[in-house]
Amino acid sequence: AQKITQTQPGMFVQEKEAVTLDCTYDTSDPSYGLFWYKQPSSGEMIFLIYQGSYDQQNATEGRYSLNFQKARKSANLVISASQLGDSAMYFCAMREINQAGTALIFGKGTTLSVSS
């Protein structure tokens, strides 16, 4: 079964609009972490934001916020006031406590295109 599901292959938004990128996850571990990464066309993976399963508040980092709904097992990334430079592929990833120290499990990604 897929652990991380990103159902939107592509999203299109205009500058200054907000956009939500969906991510659902599947785990039976009580302790886990959720990450979002941005991958521009140049190929590097840029860490954006982290949410822990026990965190009481939704994570925020500048224009990025994470809409964490634990009961629904969703961790959607919200980008406010989109910019042209936000055009990239976005990956949701998870680490479970029993996998601590090993790899992240990645979703298939969502391509975001921001137009002027």
**Residues in contact with another protein by the rule CB under 8 A:** 31-33, 35, 37, 42-47, 50, 52-53, 89, 91, 95-97, 100-104, 106-109, 111
Q: Which is nearer to another protein, 19 or 48 (CB)?
A: 48
Alpha carbon 32 to its chain centroid, in Å, reads 14
Q: Which is nearer to another protein, 15 or 40 (CB)?
A: 40
Closest CA to 65 of 78, 47, 76, 83: 78
What beta strand segments (E) does the chain contain? 4-5, 10-14, 19-21, 24-25, 32-39, 46-52, 60-61, 64-69, 74-79, 88-96, 105-106, 110-115
Least distance from another protein to the Cβ atom of residue 16, Å: 27
Q: Which is nearer to another protein, 17 or 69 (CB)?
A: 69
Least distance from another protein to the Cβ atom of residue 48, Å: 10
Least distance from another protein to the Cβ atom of residue 35, Å: 7
